Amino acid sequence: MIDLHTHTLLSDGELCPAELVQRAKFKGYTVLGITDHVDLSNLDLVVPQIAEFCEKINRIEKGIQVIPGAELTHLPPPLIPEFASKAREKGAILVLVHGETIVEPVPRGTNRAALDADIDILAHPGIISEEEVRIARERGLFLEISTRSGHCLTNGHVARLATSLGAELILNTDAHAAQDLITLEQAQEILLGAGLPALKVSKIIENSQGLVKKLYSKNS
Protein backbone atom coordinates (compact mmCIF):
# COMPACT_ATOMS: atom_id res chain seq x y z
CA MET A 1 0.00 0.00 0.00
CA ILE A 2 1.27 3.46 -0.97
CA ASP A 3 -0.40 6.46 0.64
CA LEU A 4 0.83 9.95 -0.21
CA HIS A 5 -1.51 12.08 1.91
CA THR A 6 -1.44 11.77 5.72
CA HIS A 7 -1.29 14.05 8.76
CA THR A 8 0.36 14.01 12.17
CA LEU A 9 0.06 16.10 15.31
CA LEU A 10 2.34 18.63 13.61
CA SER A 11 -0.96 19.85 12.13
CA ASP A 12 -4.36 18.33 12.95
CA GLY A 13 -3.53 14.64 13.04
CA GLU A 14 -3.71 12.52 16.20
CA LEU A 15 -0.39 10.68 16.01
CA CYS A 16 3.23 11.74 16.24
CA PRO A 17 5.15 10.94 13.04
CA ALA A 18 6.94 7.93 14.51
CA GLU A 19 3.70 6.28 15.61
CA LEU A 20 2.07 6.99 12.26
CA VAL A 21 4.96 5.24 10.52
CA GLN A 22 4.72 2.18 12.78
CA ARG A 23 0.96 1.88 12.39
CA ALA A 24 1.23 2.28 8.61
CA LYS A 25 3.95 -0.34 8.44
CA PHE A 26 1.81 -2.74 10.49
CA LYS A 27 -1.06 -2.12 8.05
CA GLY A 28 1.11 -3.22 5.13
CA TYR A 29 2.28 0.16 3.83
CA THR A 30 5.51 0.27 1.83
CA VAL A 31 5.49 4.04 1.18
CA LEU A 32 4.01 6.78 3.36
CA GLY A 33 3.83 10.48 2.54
CA ILE A 34 3.57 12.81 5.54
CA THR A 35 1.85 15.95 4.28
CA ASP A 36 0.79 18.06 7.22
CA HIS A 37 -1.35 21.14 6.67
CA VAL A 38 0.67 24.32 6.16
CA ASP A 39 -0.02 27.95 5.40
CA LEU A 40 1.79 31.26 5.85
CA SER A 41 1.99 30.81 9.62
CA ASN A 42 3.67 27.41 9.98
CA LEU A 43 5.32 26.29 6.74
CA ASP A 44 8.80 27.37 7.87
CA LEU A 45 8.45 25.32 11.04
CA VAL A 46 6.54 22.20 9.97
CA VAL A 47 8.11 21.30 6.64
CA PRO A 48 11.75 21.26 7.87
CA GLN A 49 10.69 19.16 10.87
CA ILE A 50 9.02 16.60 8.65
CA ALA A 51 11.98 16.56 6.27
CA GLU A 52 14.43 15.97 9.12
CA PHE A 53 12.25 13.23 10.60
CA CYS A 54 11.95 11.42 7.27
CA GLU A 55 15.67 11.62 6.60
CA LYS A 56 16.47 10.04 9.97
CA ILE A 57 13.72 7.41 9.97
CA ASN A 58 14.57 6.24 6.45
CA ARG A 59 18.10 5.41 7.60
CA ILE A 60 16.73 3.05 10.24
CA GLU A 61 13.36 1.66 9.18
CA LYS A 62 13.20 -1.36 6.89
CA GLY A 63 10.20 -2.17 4.74
CA ILE A 64 8.71 1.32 4.56
CA GLN A 65 9.83 4.54 2.87
CA VAL A 66 8.64 7.82 4.38
CA ILE A 67 8.36 10.89 2.12
CA PRO A 68 8.42 14.46 3.45
CA GLY A 69 5.63 16.58 2.08
CA ALA A 70 3.19 19.39 2.69
CA GLU A 71 -0.45 20.13 2.02
CA LEU A 72 -1.07 23.82 1.31
CA THR A 73 -4.37 24.42 3.05
CA HIS A 74 -6.95 27.20 2.68
CA LEU A 75 -4.38 29.62 1.25
CA PRO A 76 -5.68 32.56 -0.78
CA PRO A 77 -5.30 31.26 -4.36
CA PRO A 78 -2.83 33.98 -5.49
CA LEU A 79 -0.36 32.77 -2.82
CA ILE A 80 -0.40 29.11 -3.83
CA PRO A 81 2.41 29.21 -6.45
CA GLU A 82 4.74 31.10 -4.11
CA PHE A 83 4.17 28.77 -1.17
CA ALA A 84 4.36 25.61 -3.29
CA SER A 85 7.87 26.69 -4.29
CA LYS A 86 8.69 27.62 -0.72
CA ALA A 87 7.59 24.19 0.52
CA ARG A 88 10.04 22.61 -1.94
CA GLU A 89 12.81 24.90 -0.73
CA LYS A 90 12.16 23.90 2.88
CA GLY A 91 12.43 20.18 2.13
CA ALA A 92 9.06 18.94 0.86
CA ILE A 93 9.60 16.34 -1.84
CA LEU A 94 5.83 15.95 -2.21
CA VAL A 95 3.48 18.95 -2.47
CA LEU A 96 -0.31 18.77 -2.33
CA VAL A 97 -2.94 21.47 -2.36
CA HIS A 98 -6.11 21.14 -0.29
CA GLY A 99 -8.64 21.26 -3.11
CA GLU A 100 -12.17 22.63 -3.26
CA THR A 101 -13.88 19.90 -1.24
CA ILE A 102 -17.61 20.45 -0.83
CA VAL A 103 -17.44 19.97 2.95
CA GLU A 104 -15.20 22.95 3.75
CA PRO A 105 -15.23 26.64 2.72
CA VAL A 106 -12.12 26.40 0.55
CA PRO A 107 -11.55 29.66 -1.38
CA ARG A 108 -12.92 29.61 -4.90
CA GLY A 109 -10.15 29.47 -7.46
CA THR A 110 -8.00 27.14 -5.34
CA ASN A 111 -8.17 24.26 -7.81
CA ARG A 112 -7.10 26.41 -10.74
CA ALA A 113 -4.30 28.15 -8.84
CA ALA A 114 -3.01 24.78 -7.65
CA LEU A 115 -2.93 23.36 -11.15
CA ASP A 116 -0.81 26.31 -12.29
CA ALA A 117 1.71 25.81 -9.45
CA ASP A 118 4.61 23.43 -8.79
CA ILE A 119 2.57 20.70 -7.09
CA ASP A 120 2.15 16.95 -7.47
CA ILE A 121 -1.41 16.21 -6.31
CA LEU A 122 -4.62 18.22 -6.14
CA ALA A 123 -6.29 16.68 -3.10
CA HIS A 124 -10.05 16.06 -2.95
CA PRO A 125 -10.87 18.61 -5.70
CA GLY A 126 -14.64 18.53 -5.18
CA ILE A 127 -16.81 19.51 -8.14
CA ILE A 128 -13.80 20.12 -10.34
CA SER A 129 -14.50 21.60 -13.78
CA GLU A 130 -13.75 20.02 -17.15
CA GLU A 131 -11.29 22.82 -17.90
CA GLU A 132 -9.40 22.13 -14.67
CA VAL A 133 -9.28 18.41 -15.41
CA ARG A 134 -7.82 19.16 -18.84
CA ILE A 135 -5.14 21.34 -17.24
CA ALA A 136 -4.27 18.52 -14.85
CA ARG A 137 -3.93 16.15 -17.81
CA GLU A 138 -1.74 18.57 -19.77
CA ARG A 139 0.54 19.22 -16.80
CA GLY A 140 0.73 15.59 -15.69
CA LEU A 141 -0.71 16.36 -12.25
CA PHE A 142 -2.68 13.84 -10.22
CA LEU A 143 -6.26 14.30 -9.06
CA GLU A 144 -7.07 12.58 -5.81
CA ILE A 145 -9.69 10.00 -5.05
CA SER A 146 -10.06 10.34 -1.29
CA THR A 147 -11.04 7.72 1.27
CA ARG A 148 -11.71 10.40 3.90
CA SER A 149 -15.26 10.90 5.11
CA GLY A 150 -16.84 13.98 3.55
CA HIS A 151 -14.14 14.55 0.96
CA CYS A 152 -15.07 11.21 -0.63
CA LEU A 153 -18.57 12.46 -1.52
CA THR A 154 -17.35 13.78 -4.88
CA ASN A 155 -15.16 10.80 -5.79
CA GLY A 156 -17.62 9.68 -8.46
CA HIS A 157 -17.57 13.08 -10.17
CA VAL A 158 -13.77 13.28 -10.09
CA ALA A 159 -13.41 9.71 -11.36
CA ARG A 160 -15.89 10.22 -14.19
CA LEU A 161 -14.35 13.45 -15.50
CA ALA A 162 -10.77 12.26 -15.15
CA THR A 163 -11.57 9.03 -16.99
CA SER A 164 -13.43 10.74 -19.82
CA LEU A 165 -10.83 13.52 -20.26
CA GLY A 166 -7.68 11.47 -19.73
CA ALA A 167 -6.35 12.94 -16.46
CA GLU A 168 -4.45 10.77 -14.02
CA LEU A 169 -5.98 9.71 -10.70
CA ILE A 170 -4.35 8.70 -7.44
CA LEU A 171 -5.89 7.27 -4.26
CA ASN A 172 -4.95 8.56 -0.79
CA THR A 173 -6.46 8.30 2.68
CA ASP A 174 -5.89 11.83 4.01
CA ALA A 175 -5.40 9.95 7.27
CA HIS A 176 -5.61 11.95 10.50
CA ALA A 177 -5.84 8.97 12.87
CA ALA A 178 -4.84 5.31 13.07
CA GLN A 179 -8.27 4.10 12.01
CA ASP A 180 -8.01 6.07 8.76
CA LEU A 181 -5.22 3.86 7.41
CA ILE A 182 -6.39 1.19 4.98
CA THR A 183 -5.20 -2.00 3.29
CA LEU A 184 -4.51 -2.39 -0.41
CA GLU A 185 -7.67 -4.48 -0.71
CA GLN A 186 -9.74 -1.68 0.83
CA ALA A 187 -8.15 0.81 -1.57
CA GLN A 188 -9.19 -1.31 -4.53
CA GLU A 189 -12.75 -1.60 -3.24
CA ILE A 190 -13.02 2.16 -2.73
CA LEU A 191 -11.89 2.78 -6.30
CA LEU A 192 -14.44 0.29 -7.61
CA GLY A 193 -17.06 2.03 -5.47
CA ALA A 194 -16.21 5.32 -7.20
CA GLY A 195 -17.40 3.74 -10.43
CA LEU A 196 -14.01 2.88 -11.88
CA PRO A 197 -13.56 -0.35 -13.88
CA ALA A 198 -11.17 -3.03 -12.63
CA LEU A 199 -8.49 -2.27 -15.24
CA LYS A 200 -8.55 1.40 -14.31
CA VAL A 201 -8.29 0.49 -10.62
CA SER A 202 -5.05 -1.38 -11.30
CA LYS A 203 -3.66 1.61 -13.19
CA ILE A 204 -4.50 4.02 -10.36
CA ILE A 205 -2.75 1.78 -7.83
CA GLU A 206 0.30 1.78 -10.13
CA ASN A 207 0.15 5.58 -10.39
CA SER A 208 1.24 5.90 -6.77
CA GLN A 209 4.38 3.90 -7.41
CA GLY A 210 5.07 5.87 -10.59
CA LEU A 211 4.76 9.19 -8.76
CA VAL A 212 7.15 8.05 -6.03
CA LYS A 213 9.77 7.17 -8.65
CA LYS A 214 9.21 10.51 -10.39
CA LEU A 215 9.60 12.47 -7.15
CA TYR A 216 12.92 10.89 -6.30
CA SER A 217 14.30 11.10 -9.83
CA LYS A 218 13.47 14.82 -9.81
CA ASN A 219 15.17 15.30 -6.44
CA SER A 220 18.25 13.14 -7.08
> Could you please report the per-residue DSSP string of 171-215?
EE--B-SGGG---HHHHHHHHHHTT--HHHHHHHHHHHHHHHHHH
- In tens, the pLDDT along 78-106 reads 999 999 999 999 999 999 999 999 999 99
Burial of 66 (0-12, 13-18, 19+ CB in 10 A): buried
Average pLDDT over residues 33-48: 98
Q: What's domain 2-218's architecture?
A: Alpha-Beta Barrel (3.20)
H helix or E strand, kind and range, residue 100: none
pLDDT digits (tens, 9 = 90+) for 119-149: 999 999 999 999 999 999 999 999 999 999 9
pLDDT at 37: 98
**Quick count: other Cβ atoms within 10 Å of Cβ 128?**
24
In this structure, the number of other CB atoms found within 10 A of the CB of residue 101 comes to 22
Classify residue 29 by burial, with Cβ atoms within 10 Å: 0-12, 13-18, 19+.
buried
Residue 170 in this model has a pLDDT that exceeds 80: yes
Residue extents of the structural domains in the chain: 2-218
For residue 204, is pLDDT > 80? Answer: yes
Phi (first) and psi of residue 116, to 5 degrees: -95, 0
pLDDT at 216 > cutoff 90: no
The mean pLDDT of the chain is: 97
Mean pLDDT of 182-187: 97
Tally the C-alpha atoms within 13 A of residue 74's C-alpha that lie toward its C-beta.
9
Percent of the chain whose pLDDT exceeds 70:
100
pLDDT of residue 220: 65
pLDDT at 218 over 90: no
Task: Report whether 35 contacts 68 (CB < 8 A).
Answer: no
Q: Is the pLDDT of residue 61 over 70?
A: yes
| 136-145, 158-167, 210-219: least confidently modelled range | 210-219
Q: Crossing angle for the helix pair 155-165 and 130-139, nearest 10 degrees?
A: 60
- Band of the pLDDT at 172, cuts 50, 70, 90? very high
